[in-house]
């Protein structure tokens, strides 16, 4: 019974089955570093508030340093009887320094302690994620720069639409990741608010100084309502939503890489170190990394749905349900970090096949819109131009040739406005260069965006 901090209230010990079911030490021990940080700041605040002696603070600091060393060395004996990381550390501290360890919990509850630890941990993990997003962006920017002049078919409905630069295509994902970075930064601001001092739910009768603790822990703000402080998990849901969007973006890119690597497309190749073979088919080279990223996106999105469902019916304030926030949140962080790290490495192992891309452009009448624009510039209304080009495409399709392969005389049967200069707009390269405006796919614009992103990444 003495192993329980609350056991005096009960007439019988908790059953072993309940211990197994309700214990969290198997997964929340990863919060140990941040639990110690929070406890040291809390102890310092108690001292400054006149609630803890200098001798007790010194003993707590020494004891926590020893416990942290034990944890790093793998020598900490975690006990299921003590339920979680917080009670394990507190009990170990008390065993080491006696009554000073028992005084540490003055003015706080496990409710605000847990909420504080998770925020401290997630704040640091978001910073790591932001750095990894930038590393992936840098890899994509380099790939875009090297392939600014490479023409490929742009698709709508997965049908050939218009020529685009491969570099332009890569920069589209850089833009997505840029928004992801912004969302993480915005989310981090709301994560970085301190619940410590809310105690169980109503605050505390001790003259605590929450501003002092917040300053010591580097929090930007303090949770203003004690009920909300201990029961809020919006920050975890918001982070998981932001993480889901990152995984969604990488899943979309993964789908394209998988399709492009297929011999039916043959647009790219992925370095062997990121692929696997088949146990029965010797010729196979499977894009396992992007396939697994595509699969893991569902895992992270599932965690988001789980956290939303976890919170949707909880009355104020803290409920044991909230123990279920940690595993999906931990797994979301682990999955996202692992995915971003391997993706940045993999994208530097992508080989582009320009000849195959250009050949694909010529198979889908990708410059049809350019021909329509050409006629509009000659004075034909756009709707009439659209109809003229549609008839020309139908004719070229019947001959199994591209528009650029049709003789001038044949093109002129569809409109007398067509002249010899039409072939300048019917080439894929001409189509790219014609879109030389902000946000366009012209190689000059791609290089301008590359320069812009390099400057932004260096400044962040």
Residues belonging to the active site: 157, 278
Query: Contact 326/118 with Cβ under 8 angstroms?
Result: yes
Smallest CA-to-CA distance from 195 within 84, 318, 334 is with 318
Tell me how far apart the alpha carbons of residues 394 and 387 are, in angstroms, rounded to a whole number: 11
B/e letters for 379-407, b = 16+ CB within 10 Å, e = fewer, are ebeeeebeebbeebbebbeeeeebbbebe
Tell me the pairing of strands 221-222 and 193-194.
Answer: parallel
Residues contacting 230, CB < 8 A, separation 6+ = 109, 111, 112, 115, 195, 198, 199, 200, 201, 317, 318
> Tokens for 334?
């682990």
Say if CB 48 and CB 211 are below 8 A apart: no
Q: Which of 336, 335, 310 is nearest to 323 (CA)?
A: 310
Contacts of 168 by beta carbon, 8 Å cutoff, 6+ apart: 144, 148, 441, 445, 446, 449
266 vs 259: CA distance, rounded Å = 8
| Complete DSSP assignment for 402-452 | -GGGS-HHHHHTT-TT--TTHHHHHSHHHHHHH--STT---HHHHHHHHHH
Nearest to residue 288, comparing CAs of 253, 333, 254?
254
Both tokens of residue 348?
């530097």
SS3 208: coil
Listed residue (340, 319, 323) closest to 242, CA to CA: 340
The CB density around residue 105, as the number of other CB atoms within 10 Å, is: 18
- Are the beta carbons of 52 and 103 closer than 8 angstroms? yes
């Amino acid at each position: 019974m003495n192993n329980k901090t609350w056991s005096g209230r009960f007439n019988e010990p908790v059953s072993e089955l309940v211990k197994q079911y309700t214990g969290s030490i198997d997964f929340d021990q990863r919060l140990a570093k941040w639990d110690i940080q929070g406890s040291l700041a809390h102890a310092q605040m108690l001292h400054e508030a006149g609630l803890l002696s200098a001798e007790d603070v010194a003993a707590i600091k020494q004891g926590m340093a020893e416990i942290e060393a034990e944890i790093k060395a793998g020598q900490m004996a975690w006990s299921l009887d003590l339920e979680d990381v917080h009670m394990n550390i507190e009990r170990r501290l008390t065993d080491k320094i006696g009554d000073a360890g028992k005084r540490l919990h003055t003015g706080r509850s496990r409710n605000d302690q847990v909420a504080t630890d998770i925020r401290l941990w997630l704040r640091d993990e978001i910073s790591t994620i932001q750095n990894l997003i930038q590393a992936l962006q840098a890899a994509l920017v380099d790939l875009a720069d090297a392939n600014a002049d490479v023409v490929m078919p742009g698709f709508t409905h997965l049908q050939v639409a218009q020529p685009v630069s491969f570099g332009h295509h890569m920069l589209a994902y850089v833009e997505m990741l840029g928004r992801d970075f912004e969302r993480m930064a915005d989310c981090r601001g709301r994560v970085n608010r301190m619940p410590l001092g809310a105690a169980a739910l109503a605050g505390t009768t001790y003259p605590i100084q929450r501003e002092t603790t917040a300053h010591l822990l580097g929090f930007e703000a303090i949770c203003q309502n004690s009920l909300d402080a201990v029961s809020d998990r919006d920050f975890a849901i918001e982070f998981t939503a932001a993480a889901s969007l990152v995984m969604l973006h990488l899943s979309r890119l993964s789908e394209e890489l998988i399709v492009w690597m297929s011999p039916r497309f043959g647009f790219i190749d992925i370095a062997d170190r990121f692929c696997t073979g088949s146990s029965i088919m010797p010729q196979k080279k499977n894009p396992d990394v992007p396939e697994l990223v595509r699969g893991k996106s569902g895992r992270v999105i599932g965690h988001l749905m789980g956290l939303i469902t976890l919170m949707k019916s909880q009355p104020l304030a803290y409920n044991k349900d909230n123990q279920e926030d940690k595993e999906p949140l931990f797994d979301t962080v682990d999955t996202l970090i692992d995915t971003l790290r391997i993706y940045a490495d993999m994208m530097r192992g992508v080989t582009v096949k320009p000849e195959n891309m250009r050949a694909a452009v010529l198979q889908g009448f990708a410059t049809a819109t350019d021909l329509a624009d050409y006629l509009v510039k000659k004075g034909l209304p756009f709707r009439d131009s659209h109809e003229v080009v549609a008839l020309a495409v139908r004719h070229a399709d019947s001959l199994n040739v591209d528009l650029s392969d049709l003789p001038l005389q044949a093109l002129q049967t569809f409109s007398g406005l067509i002249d010899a200069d039409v072939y300048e707009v019917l080439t894929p390269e001409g189509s790219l260069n014609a879109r030389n405006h902000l946000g366009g796919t012209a190689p000059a614009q791609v290089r301008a965006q590359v320069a812009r992103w390099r400057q932004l990444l260096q400044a962040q």
